[in-house]
Amino acid sequence: GQNIDQPTEMTATEGAIVQINCTYQTSGFNGLFWYQQHAGEAPTFLSYNVLDGLEEKGRFSSFLSRSKGYSYLLLKELQMKDSASYLCAAQGQKDDKIIFGKGTRLHILP
């Protein structure tokens, strides 16, 4: 079967660092996406990992371990505008099917 797990909610302080974890089980695996979604809006693309390791893009970094079925999104120097839901999504190997987790709602405190 296919399953993607991530925490439902997290809280962090402005200026701090937060790590949002995602574990996945899919029938075949090609790559992993992270998206940010503000309330009432469509998701926006943050990152895509297909190789093991850490990829950094400014304040956001994403990590993948294919052998462990595990990824995380790291947000540094948190800002109030980072308050949003963060969605993890896995792409199957044989086709273009992309399945999403339920998302992690991140609350930033001043």
Task: Please choose, out of 19-27, 62-70, 71-79, 87-95, the segment that lies near other proteins by the rule CB under 8 A.
Answer: 87-95
Instruction: Tell whether residue 33 is a contact of other proteins (CB under 8 A).
Output: yes
> What's the closest the beta carbon of residue 15 comes to other proteins, in angstroms?
28
Please tell me whether residue 101 binds other proteins under the rule CB under 8 A: yes
3-state secondary structure of 6: coil
- 107 contacts other proteins (rule: CB under 8 A): no
* 3-state SS record for 19-85: EEEEEEECCCCCEEEEEEECCCCCCEEEEEECCCEEEEECCEEEEEECCCCEEEEEECCCCHHHCEE
The helix or strand, by DSSP H or E, that contains position 91, with its residue range, turns out to be strand 84-91
Q: Using CB under 8 A, which of the segments 10-18, 35-43, 56-64, 65-73 binds other proteins?
A: 35-43
20 binds other proteins (CB under 8 A): no
DSSP 87: E
Work out how close the CB of 73 gets to other proteins at its nearest, in angstroms, rounded to a whole number. 15
